Amino acid sequence: MTKQYKTLGEFIIENQDSFKYSSGELSRLLNGLRLAAKVVNHEVNKAGLVDILGEAGDTNIQGENQQKLDVLANEKFIQTLKKREIVCGIASEEEDDFISINSFDNNNQNKYVVLIDPLDGSSNIDVNVSVGTIFSIYRRVTPVGSPVTIDDFLQPGTKQIAAGYIVYGTSTMLVYTTGDGVNGFTLNPALGTFYLSHPNMKFPETGNIYSVNEGNYVHFPQGVKDYIKYCQKEEDDRPYTSRYIGSLVSDFHRNMIKGGIYMYPTSSKAPDGKLRLLYECNPMAFIAEQADGLASDGKQRIMEINPKELHQRVPFFCGSKKMVEKAKEFMK
Site residues (CB under 6 A) for ligand AHG? 93, 117, 120-122, 213, 246-248, 274
Q: How far is the CB of 322 from ligand AHG (least distance, A)?
A: 22
Residue with smaller CB distance to ligand AHG, 276 or 321: 276
274 binds, among ligand AHG, Mn ion, none (CB under 5 to 8 A by kind): ligand AHG
Q: How far is the CB of 326 from Mn ion (least distance, A)?
A: 26
Taking alpha carbons only, the member of 327, 287, 8 closest to residue 173 is 8
Q: How far is the CB of 212 from ligand AHG (least distance, A)?
A: 8
- The per-residue b/e assignment along 75-111, b for 16 or more CB within 10 angstroms, e otherwise, is bbbbebbbebbbbbbbbbbbeeebbebebeeeebebb
| Residue 247: half-sphere exposure toward Cβ, Cα within 13 Å | 26
Residue with smaller CB distance to ligand AHG, 12 or 174: 174
Site pattern 38..77 for Mn ion (x: CB under 5 A):
----------------------------------------
Q: How far is the CB of 120 from ligand AHG (least distance, A)?
A: 4
CA gap 292, 316 in Å, rounded: 17
Please identify the residue of the shown chain whose CB is closest to the bound Mn ion. Answer: 120
Residue with smaller CB distance to Mn ion, 202 or 311: 311
Q: How far is the CB of 18 from Mn ion (least distance, A)?
A: 30
Of 21-29, 114-122, 183-191, 216-224, which segment contacts Mn ion by CB under 5 A? 114-122
Residue with smaller CB distance to ligand AHG, 121 or 204: 121
CA gap 263, 166 in Å, rounded: 20
CA gap 62, 52 in Å, rounded: 12
Q: How far is the CB of 200 from ligand AHG (least distance, A)?
A: 25
DSSP 146: S
Phi, psi of 181 (to 5 degrees): 90, 175
Site pattern 89..108 for Mn ion (x: CB under 5 A):
----x---------------
Residue with smaller CB distance to ligand AHG, 223 or 246: 246
Taking a C-beta distance cutoff of 8 angstroms, is the pair 167, 249 a contact?
yes
Residue with smaller CB distance to ligand AHG, 121 or 298: 121
CA gap 193, 149 in Å, rounded: 36
Taking alpha carbons only, the member of 189, 198, 141, 140 closest to residue 164 is 198
Beta bridge partner(s), residue 137? 114, 162
Phi, psi of 194 (to 5 degrees): -90, 135
Residue with smaller CB distance to Mn ion, 119 or 231: 119
Q: Does 251 bind Mn ion (CB under 5 A)?
A: no
Taking alpha carbons only, the member of 174, 264, 282, 141 closest to residue 212 is 264
213 binds, among ligand AHG, Mn ion, none (CB under 5 to 8 A by kind): ligand AHG
Q: How far is the CB of 224 from ligand AHG (least distance, A)?
A: 14
Using DSSP bridges, classify how beta strands 172-177 and 182-188 pair: parallel, antiparallel or unpaired: antiparallel
Question: Which stretches of the chain bind Mn ion, using CB under 5 A?
Answer: 93, 117, 119-120
